[in-house]
Amino acid sequence: MSSAFGPTAASSSTGRDLRFAIVGAGMAGILTAIKLKEAGLSDFTVYEKADRLGGTWWENTYPGLSCDVPSHLYCYSFALNPEWSHTFSPGSEIQAYFERVASDYGVVPFIRFGDEVVSCAFDNGRWRISTASGHRDEVDVVIAATGVLHHPKYPDIKGLDSFGGAVFHSARWDHGVTLDGARVGIIGTGSTAVQIVSAIVERTERLVLFQRTAQWVMPAMNPAYTPEEQAAFRRDRHLMEELRAGVSQLFDGFSGAVVDAESPQMKMIEDACLKNLEDNVTDPGLRERLRPDYRAACKRLIVSADFYRAIQEPNAELVTDAIDSVEPGGVRTADGELHELDVLVLATGFKVDAFVRPMSVVGRDDRNLEQAWARRPEAYLSISVPGFPNFFMLNGPNGPVGNFSLVEVAELQVGYIMQLVDRLRTGECHEISATQAAMDRFEAARVEAAKKTVWATGCRSWYLDDRGIPAAWPWHFGRFRSAMVAPEWEAYELRG
């Protein structure tokens, strides 16, 4: 197989031999392993702390889990999948897809399962790796593919530990707990909670959704592909490519809208969500409580075909009074009412500023990532941190997040990183990292642009950093694609 990334190291027979560590065997780590192998750079280990690959798709198993990016876009461009069952296929299918692709591309034997990288230290031109089991490795390049939405955020609610029933975070679903006929409370109204509500409401005796903030909900049907459609995809891959290109274009349009809060496209998104609310929630009181008081897409837009139906089921209750405390019998709200429950699900999101942490990363001159990120996480183009040579991140700080295909994002980033690696492979230099000046310039422009996005129009969301500035790629997705085509070499310091 030849590399999709032009003149890679594979074409050089005289290059340096490089050893790599990939941290994480989720979607991005598997992708990196495949691309290194394709480029003939087969001296690598993928470190995965779990016992299975798949990352977020392995960790999250909650009922209703699916991806609200259409499946034909949420997959690798080089491994299109005619078998997708639905426009938005379920999480278990996505997990099976990544396992199958990893196996088909022969990268599973490269994964060291059940061993967490605890530290990476740059020493004498190489990275020394230590794992939780005490294993040691020494590599030339570290590629961190550790994910973003990874560390569960538990709410700080008085008495939470005293709850007498089962309580767990959505990303740590306890399948031993029965929901059938149970009184289930769900805290949170993000993408996760909405999927759970729609999936379980009919099984529960009573479902209570604790909403702190109402959400904008974009309607989207989720039809199954017919056997005939799947057969056509199998026969002709162009059909999948066309479909993918069409969906990608739609998402490009969305990226153009959200980065310009005043754009007509943004207005269209808001109108579609508003119409969804007006047309599908019949009770005027409930409708008002579900009506957001901030701009659509300021928080990550919810995409759902059936949330409004689910929350209107006779056994469902939307509670908008603030949570006061949790007691052994249930959740007490500020109005004094006790909502009696058997199960409490915390769909309260993730700590999003950890990135590669808690792994300790010590760069040049004994400076560690905690010091470099003392203010907040930053990386040039979300990939490289000044002073941390040959350490590259996928889906690192301030990259494209939101309603995009992170697979597409990771593929573009890997293509870019492979060009950095080429410089090392050909021996042109031994150490490569972004310059501080490039980092500062990029960050200043990014922050200015971020202020004009819809994410900055006044709402609480995980997109915002400690200053309230969106920690995300604030330009059109097309600009990200262009930036990833080739590195601007003056932004990098090449040593040795």
Local structure of residue 397 (DSSP, 8 states) = T
Q: Provide, rounded to whole angstroms, the least separation between the CB of residue 137 and ligand NAP.
A: 31
Q: By C-beta, is 386 or 396 nearer to ligand NAP?
A: 396
The yes or no reply on residue 398 touching ligand NAP (CB under 6 A) is no
Q: Give the interface size with ligand NAP as a residue count (CB under 6 A).
A: 27
Among 4, 1, 36, CA closest to 20: 36
Q: Does 188 bind ligand NAP (CB under 6 A)?
A: yes
Binding to ligand NAP by residue 145, rule CB under 6 A? no
Q: How many CB atoms lie within 10 A of CB 429?
A: 16
**Given 3, 45, 71, 189, the residue binding ligand NAP (CB under 6 A):** 189
The stretch near ligand NAP (CB under 6 A) out of 110-118, 245-253, 343-351, 439-447 is 343-351
Binding mask 66-105 for ligand NAP (x = CB under 6 A): xxxx------------------------------------
Binning the chain into helix, strand and coil, the percentages to the nearest 5 are 35, 20, 45
Query: Where is 148: in which H helix or E strand?
Result: none
Instruction: Work out whether 157 is an interface residue with ligand NAP (CB under 6 A).
Output: yes
Report if residue 341 touches ligand NAP, rule: CB under 6 A. no
Pairing of strands 350-351, 183-187: unpaired
Candidates 177-185, 187-195, 383-391, 484-492: pick the segment binding ligand NAP (CB under 6 A).
Answer: 187-195
Nearer to ligand NAP, 114 or 155 (CB): 155
* Pattern 411-450, ligand NAP, x by CB under 6 A: ----------------------------------------
What minimum distance in Å lies between the beta carbon of 374 and ligand NAP? 24
CA distances from 458 to 177, 203, 400, 414 (A): 38, 37, 20, 34
Question: Which stretch, 60-68, 136-144, 448-456, 466-474, contacts ligand NAP (CB under 6 A)?
Answer: 60-68
300 binds ligand NAP (CB under 6 A): yes
Q: Minimum CB separation from ligand NAP for residue 86, in Å?
A: 12
Helix (H, G, I), strand (E, B) or coil at 336: coil
Q: Which of residues 451-490 bind ligand NAP (CB under 6 A)?
A: 460, 462
Convert 260-281 to b/e letters by CB count within 10 Å (16 or more is b): ebeeeebeebbeebeebbeebb
Q: Which of 304, 333, 346 shows the shortest CA–CA distance to 188? A: 346
- The C-alpha atoms of residue 467 and residue 464 are separated, in whole angstroms, by 7
Query: Which amino acid, one-letter code, is at 192?
Result: T
Closest distance of CB 356 from ligand NAP, Å: 19
**Contacts of residue 237, Cβ cutoff 8 Å, sequence gap at least 6:** 80, 82
Measure the CA–CA gap between 105 and 19, rounded to whole angstroms: 19
- Cβ atoms of residues 259 and 449 within 8 Å: yes
407 binds ligand NAP (CB under 6 A): no
Candidate residues 89, 191, 384, 390; the one interacting with ligand NAP per rule CB under 6 A: 191
Q: Using the rule CB under 6 A, is 333 a contact of ligand NAP?
A: no
**Sign of torsion over alpha carbons 33, 35, 36, 42:** positive
Under the criterion CB under 6 A, does residue 323 sit at the interface with ligand NAP?
yes
Measured between alpha carbons, how far is 25 from 342 in angstroms, rounded to an integer? 36
User: Using CB under 6 A as the criterion, which residues of the chain lie in contact with ligand NAP when the complex forms?
Assistant: 66-69, 149, 155, 157, 170, 187-193, 195, 210, 212-213, 300, 323, 347-350, 460, 462
